[in-house]
Structure formats: C-alpha cells, structure tokens
Amino acid sequence: MVCELSRCDIYFYYQKISFFLNLRHAKSIERLQFPDKDKEKFEPINPPFVGMYVCGPTVYSDVHLGNVRTFLSFDIIYRYLRHLGYKVRYVRNITDVGHLESDADEGEDKISKKAKLENLEPMEIVQRYANDFHRVMSMFNILDPDIEPSAIGHIQEQIQMIETLMAKGLAYEVNGSVYFDVAKYNQTEKYGVLSGRVLEELQTGSRQLDGQEEKRNSVDFALWKNAGTAHIMRWKSPWGMGFPGWHLECSVMSSKYLGETFDIHGGGMDLKFPHHECEIAQSVGAHGKQPVKYWLHTNMLTVNGQKMSKSLGNSFLPHQLVTGSHPLLSEPYSPMTVRFFMLQSHYSSTLDFSNDALKAAAKGYKKIINGLVLAKKLQFAHDESISIDAGAMAQIDGIIDNCYRAINDDFNTAKTIAQLFNLLKK
C-alpha cells in the first residue's frame, strides 16, 4: 500500500516540480557546467543530441540503495538535459554475464553462483532480479532509459572487439582465455587517466593471486574467459567456449548505440577503477580515440556516519526504507521522501542516512508540496484583487534564475532545492 500511495505522490510531485522548472524555459543551454576536478563547460559533441551511458546493475541480487542513488542522480541529469531541449539517448545496461566475484578476474560469475545456490537456470536469476530492479526504479519514479541492452545480447559484438584488440597487438590468448595487455597499451597511451593511478604503482602494489598466473601482468584484465562444460553460461568463440569479461560489454554497447565517442558516461564511484579505466583502455585500443567526453561518478552512502556495508549490518534495502523493516529505521519513509532526501545532497558528495535526516526530508518535502499547491492556485486564480507587485515578481524571477544557476552548476540539486525553499518564502 505504501507503494501505491506513493505513486500518487510521485505523479503529484512531478506535475508540480515540472511546473516550476517550466516557469521559464532555460534562457541559455550554455550555462550548464560539468565538473571533473576543474569544472568545464558542457558542450555536446553533436548538439542538440546528447549520448549518455550509465553502468547498470548486475542482476544477481536485490538492488541496493547505492544503485538507487546512482540511477536517481542520472535520472535528474536525463530529465534536466531534456528539459533544456537536448535530444538525449540514454543507454543503461543490464549485466547478465561476466561479472565475477572479484575484480581480479577471479571467482565465479555472480549470476551463475546465485543460480546454483537457488537451483535455478541463470536466466531465471537474471529475469527475477531485472524485474525487481525495474520495480524499484519505478517506485522511485526513475525514468526508463531509451535503450537497456544486456551483455548476453551482444556476445558477437564483444567477440569482434576482442578480435580487433588482438589484431592491434593489445590482447593475448592463454588457454582459451584472452587478456588485455595493459603494459603494451601503456607504451603509447596512458593507463589510469581517469582515476589518476600510475601503472608502475599498481604493479608493485598488487598481490600475486591464484588463477592470475595466466596473465603476463597482474594488472591485465580478462576480455574472454575460457569455460569448461561445468559452466552453463558459455558461448562459442575463436578461442573455444567461454564468456566475455565484465569490462568489455560497456565498451561494446556504448559504442554500438552512442558511437565511438559520446558525451556522458556515468556510474557509481566504485566503478571508476578498475571498471571505467579498463573501458577507456579497451575503447582507445580498439577505436584510437577517447570514448567519453564527460565522466560523472556518484558518491557512496553512509549510515549515521559509518560506511554502509553488509558486514556492518547497517545496509538496508530500498523496500526496507519504504516499509521501515530494519532495526536502524524508526519508521517507514515514502519513496518520495527518500527521493527528495537523496536530492538534497550533491551526487558527488557522500550521502549520510539517519532517521533524523529522513524525517527532516519528509517535512521539507511536504513544505515544498504545500507551496506548490498554493502557487498553482494563485496561477489559476484570475482574481483581480490579488495583485503581485513588480518588485516581488522581480525577486521571484531572480530566485528562478538562481535555481537554474544552481542546477547548471554540475546538476547541484542540493543548491537548487535550497533555492526552491527561498521561492516558497515569497
């Protein structure tokens, strides 16, 4: 029931907030700023088109709150860019194969492992958790992407990219597996541009792990993994039966649907290294150019100041927030409260969950909604007796300008919401 009611809330909220955002259409789309260390002006490669790729979930378990925050942040970016008049193609993938338990190309495929545990076909796991993911996205009123491709749907394209990388001498085969040769790549390009890592340090710092002996170098990463008959999820390739490496799908699907260089690539901060670094290496290696103009990463969640993690027992799931069914939650919160709460922080800052903060968000959200209802009434009341003087109108205009300025500054929803509160006072 909480969900059902909140759907109404959502609809209501969005009608209202969009009314506000539409009070004036953006005066200039050049005001949009993008940051990366130093902020840079946003200039799409091929305006008015914008290509945006966001790393989606690996569908082997319940979607966690960190995912919700990431996809909510990009939902705002997607909505705002469209509001500004851009024609956005938003691609968010579903990882249904290749994501191993450890970043070092070790351990089982997460989906295969879960399938064995639950005695199901891996595709049943994929289906169950993809459905669950979509339901959670819908609960938080996060728009669907324009294309939601999956790794399994692009096996052939992934094999082709591996062949290209091998032809360029950037990948090598060992026992039916293929690895990306990071040292070779680093001879002409720079590995680590995004995360600021230095290859030499990575090499010194890495332990020699089991199953790593096939690699020429511990920082090399799998493009294709050999898979014996015990594996259910495996496909034919020039190197025998196997499955694609996790990093590969994103390079393949982003370039297929957005071109070899596109505007925005996003994801959680935990993906910056090694996932996005490997994506860059693959794409630069295969296409000879940087794949992405603007990289955006969302920051982590904390609970009462502590890192949110399963082992600490402070990690609650989206549905627990909404039903209040977790020891750390004093009450259930509506999805719109959670959405509003998350937007009160900038996407690149850590976000701390606490009952006090959530309760304050519920109050703030209600205030905004009440204000919007009033504003709507005023707008439609053609009552001559209500006169707004020119000075007040100018002040309102100024605040609306500030709203745009705030959101144009690296999608700063925190500042934008603060401006909305100023607007309420008027």
Binding site for its own copies (CB under 8 A): 4, 7-8, 89, 121, 123-124, 126-128, 131, 134, 144-150, 152-153, 155-156, 160, 235-236, 257
Pairwise CA distance, residues 359 & 338, whole Å:
10
Cβ-Cβ contacts under 8 Å for 116 (sequence gap 6 or more): none
Q: Which CB, 147 or 269, lies closer to its own copies?
A: 147
Question: In the bound complex, what is the minimum distance in angstroms from residue 232's beta carbon to its own copies?
Answer: 10
Smallest Cα–Cα separation from 243: which of 143, 133, 420, 108? 108
What's the CA gap between 70 and 60, in Å, rounded? 18
* Dist CA 82 CA 79 (whole Å): 5
Closest to its own copies by CB, 44 or 145: 145
Smallest distance from its own copies to CB 5, Å: 9
CA quadruple 264, 265, 267, 270: dihedral sign: negative
Contact 236, 259 (CB under 8 A): no
In terms of CB distance, is 129 or 340 closer to its own copies?
129
Closer Cβ to its own copies, 122 or 371, answer by number: 122
- Which of 160/349 has CB closer to its own copies? 160
Minimum Å gap between C-beta 334 and its own copies is: 15
Residue 213's nearest CA partner among 247, 246, 174 is 174
In this complex, which beta carbon is closest to its own copies, that of residue 4 or of residue 213?
4
Main-chain dihedrals φ then ψ at residue 250, nearest 5 degrees:
-70, -40
β-pairing, 177-180 vs 171-174, is antiparallel
As measured in angstroms, the least distance from the Cβ of 30 to its own copies is 26
Select 149 or 285, whichever has its Cβ closest to its own copies: 149
**Secondary structure class of 226 (helix, strand, coil):** strand
- The distance of closest approach from Cβ of residue 112 to its own copies in the complex, given in angstroms and rounded to an integer, is 15
233-249 as b/e, with b when 16 or more CB fall inside 10 Å? Answer: bbbebebeebbbbbbbb
Three-state secondary-structure class, residue 110? helix
CB of 249 to its own copies, least distance (A): 13
For the bound state, the minimum distance from the C-beta of residue 239 to its own copies, rounded and expressed in Å, comes to: 14
Residue 418 corresponds to which tokens in the numbers above?
Answer: 């603060």
> CA-to-CA distance for 409 and 80, rounded, in angstroms?
12
Under DSSP, is residue 148 helix (H, G, I), strand (E, B) or coil? Answer: coil
| Residue number with CB closer to its own copies (145 or 267) | 145
Smallest separation, CB 81 to its own copies (Å): 16
Q: Report residue 333 as tokens.
A: 């919160």
